[in-house]
A and B are shown apart, each in its own frame.
Chain A
Amino acid sequence: MTVVKAVTCPVCGCLCDDIELTVRNGRIIKVKNGCAMCEAKFLSHASDHRPTKSMIRREGKLVEVSLEEAVRKAAEILVDASYPVLYGWSSTSCEATKVGIELCEEIGGVIDNTAVVCHGPSILAVQQVGIPSCTLGQVRHRADLIIYWGCDPWSAHPRHIERYTAFSEGRFEKSAWRTYINKVKALVGSKKIESAIRRLAIKSWEPAVARVEKSPSQYLSREGRKLIVVDVRRTKTAEMADYFIQVEPGKDYELFKAMRALIRDQEIEVDRVAGVPVEYLEDVVDVMVSCDFGAIFFGLGLTMGSAKLKNIEEAIRLTRDLNMRTKFIIMPMRGHFNVAGANIVSTWETGYPFAVDFSLGYPRYNPGETSVVDILLRKESDAALVIASDPVSNFPHKASEHLVQKPLIVIDAHMNVTASMADVFIPAAMVGIEAEGTAYRMDHVPIPLKKVVDPPEGVFSDEEILRLILSEVRKIKKERMEAG
């Protein structure tokens, strides 16, 4: 039995790297420090349902074949295509993404990562107005005002609050929760702590809700770190907040606008914005400009709201304006553990973070045109490779329909919905558990992923599989060139 320390968790954009794993007989049997999602992921590597053989569709059925045969078939599909798309990348290593980009360049395809369906609009907004941001430790050390906007970290990034924001302890900002957490930790297991914190949160910090006409002043006047949540519904995170602003669905944009006007001491000619009384907004804005260091974290509630990238543009402009008065930063809550890395690698090799089209022999980029969902909706692609992702279960129906109609190659550790519709399926090792690599946290800090156990026999990493396909593609192209 061995204990492996400082393991990085390959689940969400928090990329917690303090996980301790206990390994026995090549299996992970215990996970320490992680959240429930982390635990589930690490324990899943030994699941009995893992596919370990490559498969090819013959007469409508997936049949087991050798890896070489699957690689050959995949390479042929890609070489024959005039406009193939390569999609996924957010749940694999940067090293694999690099090979993917080289492959895409070789076959003149379009490479896109899952950012396109989550924080793609955030990237487009940054390209329009920039972004004042920082690493998460900066927030931990300095922030005395935390705002979660359109996101629910308690459910989606469970350790974000504890490791980096309101409940964390920094050099200049102490956590009101610290002593409490330590005390409980000494007494009980981690799961009990979580429920205890939640109980405490609900009891003692019952937040005021702007929509039900509670003035923020009394809730936000105390000393120390403060937490504000803005969302369309009362999430679990909202329950912990000092103050909760329930925004009218689809009206975040107007709320940002109004806040910006208030920061600039401009008159607003309406009484309510997005369902919130302007006088309450004035109080909230007062708290924002008088903090020492404020941080806004936003999620898909904003990027997928009615104004999409314009929501983010305006959120960033608000942050920019706040920097005239104090220090303020803003950061997207990235979902998949390495979606930031996929964007980063793509940017340094091609100049663009996602939706890169190599059909002309050089990188081109314009989401809306070169983004995979739009290409599928216009039925333009004629083959696809999907890696470490399950687009069929989350793309619009029409897009998925076109995706599976054309030749489809899937590389994944699990037999997900997309994989079950594939023409070629190649099982892969789980990166961060059975294969090493590098991933980038939501704040762009690179963190190494460890190989803790061996993959099932005959199963290779994404990087190795892609290299095999790439060299096969080059071989086929050479053969065809020589044959004229």
Chain B
Amino acid sequence: MMIVLTPIREFKVPIFAECISPEVFEGKNIVQIGQLPVYEGNREKKLQELFKIEEAKTAEGVAEPAITIQGDVSKLKYIGAGMTKGEIVINGSVGMYLGEEMKGGKITVYGNAGGWAGSAMKGGTIEIHGDAGDYLAAPYRGSTQGMSGGKIIVYGNAGVDAGAYMRKGIIKVHGNAGQFVGVGMHDGVIYVKGNCDGRAGSCMTGGTIVISGFIESILPTFTFEGLKKKVKIEESEVVEVPLYLFIGDLTENGKGKLYVSKANNPQLYYYERFL
């Protein structure tokens, strides 16, 4: 069964919509789903007051619950938070905390996502075809328990602090990433195909960051390890271009690996004197 949600009107104030999650919808009929509570600002509403709710047939044999949202829901927070299975497709932009702490299933966004998408996620997949906001996969304020599994693919750009305190899993950004990508990460892989705003991997203790584009400088607390011919991102993907490898962050006694494309970063040439 697939539920299709279409916003009835334009939303202005933030909406807390934790209930939009496959397992919450599972086993409920349209009427029951329509009664689910959401908060629009400080007003408690029913889902049906905000959305037209319809049921659509899914392909034969697909048992997993699925939700499709048609339209802009960039004011909606916590869609798919904590989900463990099923699928959410959003044809439009979405608000903050998409798939926060999700454990399984898949979320696809054909639009942009707000901040903290995949915050502290544990498993499953998030695909964002537009841009991701700041703090992609990062944990809540004060916490150092970042993303611990799963996969995030962003086809556009990512904001600052992508993959902060990451412990496991993989993040791929096809566009550019903001400052502090992989800050404080322990393990896992972050692959930025575009450029990076700098300070990549600060305070990292482990894990791998690969930057194919331009990065102005490497933090002084990374040590140059040499020139590599290729680096493996995951089973099916290997980046085969010459890359500088740095190890850090020394101030945290870190052993993280920071790979930076040689071709796109001629300003880092002087490190080669250490070869």
A25 within 8 Å of B (CB atoms): no
| A261-B250, A307-B179, A317-B251 known; A107 vs B220 contact (CB < 8 Å) | no
Across-interface contacts of B43 in A (CB, < 8 A): 82
**Given contacts A359-B41, A382-B41, is CB(A254)–CB(B12) below 8 Å?**
no
Interface assignment of B56: CB less than 8 Å from any CB of chain A: no
Complex: chain A residue closest to B144, CB-CB: A128
Quick check: is A369 within 8 A (CB to CB) of the other chain?
yes
A260-279 contact mask (Cβ, 8 Å, vs B): 1 or 0: 11001011111001000000
Residue B220 contacts which of A128, A270, A306, A321 (CB distance < 8 angstroms)? A270
Q: Which residue of the partner chain A has the closest CB to B11?
A: A380
Q: Within 8 Å CB of A328, what residues of B?
A: none
Interface size class of A (residues with CB under 8 A): 35 or more
Q: Determine if A335 is an interface residue (Cβ-Cβ < 8 Å).
A: no
Q: B251 touching A268 by the CB < 8 A rule?
A: no
Q: Are B13 and A83 in contact (CB under 8 A)?
A: yes
| Interface flag for B202 (CB, 8 Å) | yes
| Distance to closest chain B CB from A404 (angstroms) | 17
Q: Is the CB of B12 within 8 A of A379?
A: yes
Flag if B141 contacts A365 (CB, 8 Å): yes
Interface core residue of B202, B220, B274 (most chain A CB under 10 Å): B220
- Across the interface, which residues of A come within 8 angstroms of B140, CB to CB? 366
- Which residues of B sit under 8 angstroms from A253, Cβ to Cβ? 199, 202
Which residues of A from 418 to 470 have beta carbons under 8 Å from B? Answer: none
Interface residues of B in 41-85 (CB under 8 A from A): 41-43, 75, 77
Contact (A264, B179) CB under 8 Å given A257-B221, A269-B271, A380-B75: no
In the bound complex, how far is the Cα of B274 from the Cα of A181, in angstroms?
Answer: 55
- The answer to whether residues A268 and B39 also contact, given A83-B13, A261-B251, A368-B115 and a CB cut-off of 8 A, is no
| From B42, B75, B115, contact of A358 by CB (8 A) | B42
The answer to whether A127 touches B142, judged by C-beta atoms less than 8 angstroms apart, is yes
Q: Which residues of B contact A483 (CB under 8 A)?
A: none
Whether A109 contacts B223 in the complex (CB less than 8 A), given A368-B115, A379-B12, A382-B13, comes out as no
The docked-state distance in angstroms from the alpha carbon of A179 to that of B174 is 65
A310 touches B115 (CB 8 A): no
**How far is B117's CA from A192's CA once the two chains are assembled, in angstroms?**
59
CB of A367 within 8 A of chain B? Answer: yes
Indicate if the CB atoms of A267 and B223 lie closer than 8 Å.
Answer: yes
The verdict on A369 contacting B96 (CB below 8 Å), with A83-B41, A266-B250 known, is yes
Interface size class for chain B? 20 to 34
Partner of A310, one of B39, B134, B202: B202
Decide yes or no: A367 and B220 within 8 Å by CB, A83-B13, A264-B250, A380-B75 being known contacts: no
Q: Does B259 contact A (CB under 8 A)?
A: no
Pairwise interchain contact A83-B14, C-beta atoms closer than 8 A: yes
Which of B39, B75, B183, B221 is the one whose CB lies under 8 Å from A359? Answer: B39
A411 to B12, CA, bound (A): 26
User: Would B221 and A310 count as touching, CB distance under 8 A?
Assistant: no
| Interface set, chain A 304-327, CB cutoff 8 A to B | 306-307, 310, 317, 321
Give B161's nearest chain A residue, CB to CB: A310
Whether A359 pairs with B251 at a CB distance below 8 angstroms is no
Q: Do B42 and A107 touch across chains, with their CB atoms under 8 A apart?
A: yes
Contact indicator A366/B251 (Cβ below 8 Å): no
Rounded to whole Å, the gap between the CB of B43 and the closest CB of chain A is: 5
Residues of chain A within 8 A of B251, CB atoms compared: 257, 260-261, 264, 266, 317, 321
- Tell me the nearest residue of chain A to B183, going by C-beta: A310
Assuming A257-B251, A379-B12, is B42 touching A109 (CB within 8 A)? yes
Inter-chain contact B42/A82, CB cutoff 8 Å = yes
Bound Cα distance from A106 to B186, whole angstroms:
43
Q: Which one of B134, B220, B224 contacts A273 once the chains associate, using CB atoms below 8 Å?
A: B220
Which of A81, A124, A310, A360 contacts B16, CB < 8 Å?
A360
User: Shortest distance in angstroms between A414's beta carbon and chain B's nearest beta carbon?
Assistant: 31
Is B135 interfacial (CB-CB < 8 Å)?
yes
A301 at the interface (CB under 8 A from B): no
Does B26 touch A at the CB level, under 8 Å?
Answer: no
Q: A103: CB under 8 A from chain B?
A: no
B23: CB under 8 A from chain A? no
What A residues does B219 contact at CB under 8 A? 254, 257
The answer to the question of B127 belonging to the interface, with a C-beta cut-off of 8 Å to chain A, is: no
B25 within 8 A of A: no
- Cα separation A382 to B42 with both chains bound (whole Å): 11
19 pairs, A vs B, C-beta closer than 8 Å: A81-B41, A82-B41, A83-B42, A254-B219, A257-B221, A257-B251, A258-B220, A260-B251, A266-B251, A269-B223, A269-B224, A269-B271, A307-B199, A358-B42, A360-B16, A368-B115, A368-B134, A380-B13, A382-B13
Q: Which 10 A-B pairs have the closest CB atoms?
A: A108-B42, A82-B41, A83-B41, A83-B13, A127-B142, A359-B42, A260-B251, A258-B220, A257-B221, A82-B13
B residues adjacent to A (C-beta < 8 A): 12-14, 16, 39-43, 75, 77, 96, 115-116, 134-135, 140-142, 144, 179-180, 183, 199, 202, 219-221, 223-224, 250-251, 271, 274
A residues at B contact (CB < 8 Å)? 81-83, 107-109, 124, 127-128, 253-254, 257-258, 260-261, 264, 266-270, 273, 306-307, 310, 317, 321, 358-361, 365-369, 379-382
